[in-house]
Amino acid sequence: MQTPYEQLLTVIPDHPAQRIMHFVDHATPLVDALADLTRVRDYEYLLLSFNPQSADTFARYFALSDHISVKAITHDQARYHRQAKMYDYLFVEAAIPDPNAFLKRAYPAIKNGGMLFVLSHDPDLEIETWREAMEAHYYVAFSTFELDKDTRVFSGRKMHGWGG
């Protein structure tokens, strides 16, 4: 029987050369599920953490996994990636203080038609704030659903040819 996280990952088709970016500040079930999926399918997996200690822990934990890269980042840096339009899927589990600023910085990293998934464990997180931010930054097909009793997911797709 699949976990809710494994069920979520069924949205990722088994196509070659997929790239996944994941913002996370501590170990979660999704980290392990994505590590397993990307290992089995030979995908690239970039773990980004706003917490330098967590980034260091992840880097040591995945040191022997050639397909996984780990990077410490800050909320105010200009970009979260080296090259534009590389990632097919972007997952966010880290706390994001400003969805507008985050989405603006993350937008260039995602391929046209790429998917964004924000997983929130905060029952007070404002859904409308994320919906408006996604719309303002050219993410379409906004939806929200409960992954499990403690996790709400917001998703959107980067619209091809919009906003650069």
Asked whether the predicted pLDDT for residue 155 surpasses 90, the reply is yes
Residue 163 has pLDDT above 90, yes or no: no
The CATH code of the domain at 19-158 is 3.40.50.150
Helix (H) or strand (E) holding 99: helix 99-106
Amino acid at 81: H
- Is residue 50 within 8 Å of 26, Cβ to Cβ? no
Which pLDDT band holds residue 27 (cuts at 50, 70, 90)? very high
Question: What number of helices (H) and strands (E) belong to the chain?
Answer: 5, 7
At residue 161 the predicted structure's pLDDT band, cuts being 50, 70 and 90, is low
Answer positive or negative: Cα dihedral of 162, 73, 17, 86: positive
For the segment 4-22, the average pLDDT, to the nearest whole number, is 95
pLDDT value of position 80: 83
Greater model confidence, 83 or 1:
1
What is the rounded CA–CA span in Å between residue 30 and residue 71? 17
| Distance, CA of 122 to CA of 2 (rounded, Å) | 24
Q: How far out from the chain centre does Cα 4 lie?
A: 16
| Residue 144 reports pLDDT greater than 60 | yes
Q: Determine the average pLDDT of the residues in 2-9.
A: 93
* pTM confidence score: 0.93
Asked whether the predicted pLDDT for residue 154 surpasses 90, the reply is: yes
pLDDT band at residue 16 under the 50/70/90 scheme:
very high
The pLDDT value recorded for residue 131 is: 93
Q: How far are the Cα atoms of 3, 48, 88, 110 from residue 164, in angstroms, in the given order?
A: 36, 23, 16, 11
State whether the Cα torsion 131-12-85-45 is positive or negative.
Answer: positive
* Tens digits of residue pLDDT in 47-105: 999 999 999 999 999 999 999 999 999 999 888 877 667 899 999 999 999 999 999 99
